[in-house]
């Protein structure tokens, strides 16, 4: 596997995670970061209650360098999700607080 590159700023909140795309050469890799991970690593986000999608997207934008580093490491290790459309999922315990 090559190194995962993040070439665009497209991201989507799907109700469970923020999805974004990495690229390994010409192959697109669907990545995501869980809502829980975003809440754990962004103290300004409330841990309970409903939040607008924009809050999660803004938090993703702020934490993107850290999220991308974790996604690259997981990709290099072959740590892919067992099922679903998201191949590389960043969870709260994947990077230090």
pLDDT tens, 42-66?
Answer: 888 877 778 889 999 999 999 999 9
Burial status of residue 46 (CB atoms within 10 A of its CB: 0-12, 13-18, 19 or more): exposed
Find all residues with CB under 8 Å of 92, minimum gap 6, and list them: 34, 36, 37, 40, 41
* Element holding 20 (H helix, E strand): strand 17-24
Helix (H, G, I), strand (E, B) or coil at 36: helix
Could you give the domains of the chain? 11-94 (3.30.160.140)
pLDDT at 49: 75
pLDDT tens, 35-46?
Answer: 999 999 888 887
What's the pTM value of the predicted model, to 2 decimals? 0.91
Find all residues with CB under 8 Å of 65, minimum gap 6, and list them: none
């Amino acid at each position: 596997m090559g190194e995962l590159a993040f070439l665009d700023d497209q991201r989507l909140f799907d109700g469970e995670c923020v999805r974004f795309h990495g690229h390994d050469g010409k192959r697109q890799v669907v990545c995501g970061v869980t809502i829980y991970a975003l809440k754990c690593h962004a103290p300004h986000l409330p841990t309970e209650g409903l939040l607008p999608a924009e809050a999660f997207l803004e938090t993703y934008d702020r934490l993107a360098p850290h999220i991308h580093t974790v996604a690259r490491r997981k990709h290099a290790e072959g740590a892919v999700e067992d099922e679903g459309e998201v191949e590389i999922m960043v969870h709260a315990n994947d990077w230090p607080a």
